[in-house]
Chains A and B, each alone.
Chain A
Amino acid sequence: MELLKVENLEVVYNDVVLVLKGLSLSAGQGRITALLGANGAGKSTTLKAISGLLEGEDGEITDGRVLLDGEPVQGLAPEKIVRRGVFQVMEGRRIFQDLSVEENLRCGAFTRPSREIAPGIEAVYGYFPRLKERRRQLAGYMSGGEQQMLAIGRALMAKPRLLLLDEPSLGLAPLLVEEIFEIVKKINQSAGVTILLVEQNARAALAIAEHGFIMENGRIVMDGPARELLSNPDVQEFYLGIGGSGEKRSYREVKHYRRRKRWLG
């Protein structure tokens, strides 16, 4: 069963820049789906198109549909989409730095009835005990990892059905990435939240996802079960940094891949 279906989405910024060029993807109910791609491919744009946050950036959906449980939600105001159960954790965490940790969490529950707030906060502390120790602290003074935890915890306060995570590993040490991804997996399993995970760290993302989509230049160029993507030689070469001969390769060579355009065919 697909909770989210995106069909032939086209997004234009400032009336001229076409960033998504007929993108289609789907996210299965209760599953983790990864969306991978190079810088500037349009991953964040895809998430913002789903959550309605394009509105504030002079971006517009010019074609295609976003279906949540079969119902179109494209073009709705972001606050309406949040009330439908879609919550985006934006790239760069975007926590409210001059609010305390607990006030940030309360903000996450903006659309929920008051009686859910206290148990919600406790549940978040269950996933992220470190936040509890810092509950009264100004969020701006927390470390990057703690801020990411707060950003995810804040999202949980909204009790979303679909959680859109934009690069949760950004700027975190490998050990912390692992910790955070484990918690994401736990959230998915224990709360049954459907997750669409955008990542640069393809290996970490595919390790917890059931299904993956790879996008390039505003389109999906490949998709499949995470296990298959992990063993696919092209994916290994360009997203996991393992060259054909087994040696490490860098992202710089993505350009070289673009010239070949093997998947666009």
Chain B
Amino acid sequence: MAYYLQLIIGGLVVGSIYSLVALGFVIIYKATKVVNFAQGELVMVGAYACFALTVQMQLPFLLAFLCTLVFSVILGLALERLVLRPMIGEPIISVIMVTIGLSSVLKSLVQLFWGTDIRVYPQVLPSEPVVIAGLPVAPVYIAAFALALTLFVIFTLFFKYSRLGIAMRATAYDQQAAQSMGVSIKNIFALSWCIATMVSSIGGIILGNINGINSQLGVLGLKVFPAVILGGLDSLLGAAVGGLFIGVLENVCDAGAKDLLGLSGFKEVAAFVFLVLILMVRPYGLFGTHEIERV
């Protein structure tokens, strides 16, 4: 039992990273209708940027963290401006191909600079576990979860109350009508890429602190699909819950399959099996909007 509880905690922590990545994915999808297949690679780039700053340039971790955020904002702006904006108005399949291409380019760049070996971050938080309700939990887990939670609260408030946040939702609903309010669509697109790269980078940094990182990190981006489809492609809350759920599901199913059936490696497929099941029951996800049907 305690073993499964540990798995659930571990699942929640990894799941909170999925949630962040899903958040980035959903923001881009909502605002620009682009399905971003490079979301996982953005995580990887963020993780390596922070790695370079802390380990190779010997900056203190907090400073490296902030610099990585600045870097990812710039990266987001650059990607939107140079890669995505020229694709506006092109067929959706072309845009998807471009994001797939982007993911390969980012991955190759990382391999070029850092090779394919596993890299580890220096220990930032103490490794001595804290005991919560009788269970030992690593401080880095707590920090990771708290950080993800904080980001979700911030973005929820941002979309609910801030001028730009409301404008982003308006743009997601009807671009031309938003334009008629004086909202610059280009700025909204750029902003959504900035946010998406930033939260992905944070996810990457958290991951770097928990596990090592390598150039296959981008595969994590695929886990985002079950998470967002579970939550509904256009729902922030859905992204959060979906991500956490997938994290836990993976761990628990993996252990369950091992214990009960003697199967190993179920971890990688559990999420996708579940995805298919969900789509059969609720095609718009658990929290996704049905269109309001009235005119």
- Contact across chains for A94 and B179 when beta carbons are under 8 A apart: no
Query: Is the CB of B108 closer than 8 A to any CB of chain A?
Result: no
Beyond A97-B173, A140-B294, is A114–B179 a contact (Cβ under 8 Å)? no
- Contact across chains for B163 and A114 when beta carbons are under 8 A apart: yes
Chain B residues near A26 (CB-CB < 8 A): none
Q: How far is the CA of A100 from the CA of B163 in the complex (A)?
A: 14
Query: Is the CB of A103 closer than 8 A to any CB of chain B?
Result: yes
- Contact across chains for B180 and A99 when beta carbons are under 8 A apart: no
- Contact across chains for A96 and B163 when beta carbons are under 8 A apart: no
Specify the main secondary structure of chain B where it touches its partner. Answer: helix
Q: How far is the CA of A51 from the CA of B176 in the complex (A)?
A: 11
Query: Is the CB of B259 closer than 8 A to any CB of chain A?
Result: no
Set A83, A87, A140: member contacting B292, Cβ < 8 A: A140
Q: Tell me which of B178, B180, B292 has the highest count of chain A C-beta atoms within 10 A of its own C-beta.
A: B180
Chain A residues near B295 (CB-CB < 8 A): 92, 144
Chain B residues near A106 (CB-CB < 8 A): 163, 166
Which of A62-70, A74-82, A230-238 binds B? A74-82
CB distance from A106 to the nearest CB of B (A): 5
Given contacts A78-B180, A82-B180, A110-B183, 16 further A-B contacts (CB under 8 A): A53-B176, A53-B180, A55-B179, A78-B179, A79-B182, A96-B170, A98-B169, A103-B169, A106-B163, A107-B166, A107-B178, A110-B182, A111-B181, A138-B292, A140-B294, A141-B294
CB distance from A189 to the nearest CB of B (A): 24
Query: Is the CB of B177 closer than 8 A to any CB of chain A?
Result: yes
- Contact across chains for A98 and B183 when beta carbons are under 8 A apart: no
In the complex, chain B residues 145-190 whose Cβ is within 8 Å of any chain A Cβ: 163, 166-167, 169-170, 173-185
- Contact across chains for A77 and B170 when beta carbons are under 8 A apart: no
Query: Is the CB of A212 closer than 8 A to any CB of chain B?
Result: no
- Contact across chains for A99 and B294 when beta carbons are under 8 A apart: no
Taking residues whose C-beta sits less than 8 angstroms from the other chain, chain B's interface range is: 20 to 34
- Contact across chains for B177 and A90 when beta carbons are under 8 A apart: yes
Query: Is the CB of A120 closer than 8 A to any CB of chain B?
Result: no
CB distance from A134 to the nearest CB of B (A): 15
Chain A residues near B294 (CB-CB < 8 A): 140-141
Q: Tell me which of B166, B177, B292, B295 has the highest count of chain A C-beta atoms within 10 A of its own C-beta.
A: B177
Beyond A99-B169, A106-B163, A140-B294, is A88–B180 a contact (Cβ under 8 Å)? yes
Chain A residues near B170 (CB-CB < 8 A): 96, 99, 103-104, 107
- Contact across chains for B175 and A107 when beta carbons are under 8 A apart: no
24 contacts between A and B (CB under 8 A): A53-B176, A53-B180, A56-B175, A56-B176, A79-B179, A90-B180, A92-B295, A94-B180, A96-B169, A96-B174, A97-B292, A98-B173, A99-B169, A99-B170, A103-B166, A107-B178, A107-B183, A108-B181, A110-B163, A111-B182, A114-B163, A138-B292, A140-B294, A141-B292
- Contact across chains for B176 and A96 when beta carbons are under 8 A apart: no
Chain A residues near B174 (CB-CB < 8 A): 94, 96
Query: Is the CB of A154 closer than 8 A to any CB of chain B?
Result: yes
Chain B residues near A104 (CB-CB < 8 A): 170
- Contact across chains for A98 and B180 when beta carbons are under 8 A apart: no
Chain B residues near A149 (CB-CB < 8 A): none
Q: How far is the CA of A114 from the CA of B163 in the complex (A)?
A: 9
- Contact across chains for B292 and A82 when beta carbons are under 8 A apart: no
Q: How far is the CA of A144 from the CA of B295 in the complex (A)?
A: 7
Over the window 101-140 of chain A, the binary record of Cβ atoms lying under 8 Å from chain B Cβ atoms (1 yes, 0 no) is: 0011011101100100000000000000000000000101
Query: Is the CB of A158 closer than 8 A to any CB of chain B?
Result: yes
Name the CB-closest residue of A to B182: A82
Q: How far is the CA of A219 from the CA of B96 in the complex (A)?
A: 43
Set A94, A98, A138, A158: member contacting B176, Cβ < 8 A: A94
Chain A residues near B173 (CB-CB < 8 A): 96-99
Q: How far is the CA of A97 from the CA of B174 in the complex (A)?
A: 9
Q: Tell me which of A79, A90, A141 has the highest count of chain B C-beta atoms within 10 A of its own C-beta.
A: A79
Set A92, A114, A154: member contacting B181, Cβ < 8 A: A154
Query: Is the CB of B211 closer than 8 A to any CB of chain A?
Result: no
Name the CB-closest residue of B to A104: B170
Q: How far is the CA of A104 from the CA of B179 in the complex (A)?
A: 13
CB distance from B60 to the nearest CB of A (A): 37
Chain B residues near A82 (CB-CB < 8 A): 180-182
Q: Tell me which of A77, A96, A141 has the highest count of chain B C-beta atoms within 10 A of its own C-beta.
A: A96
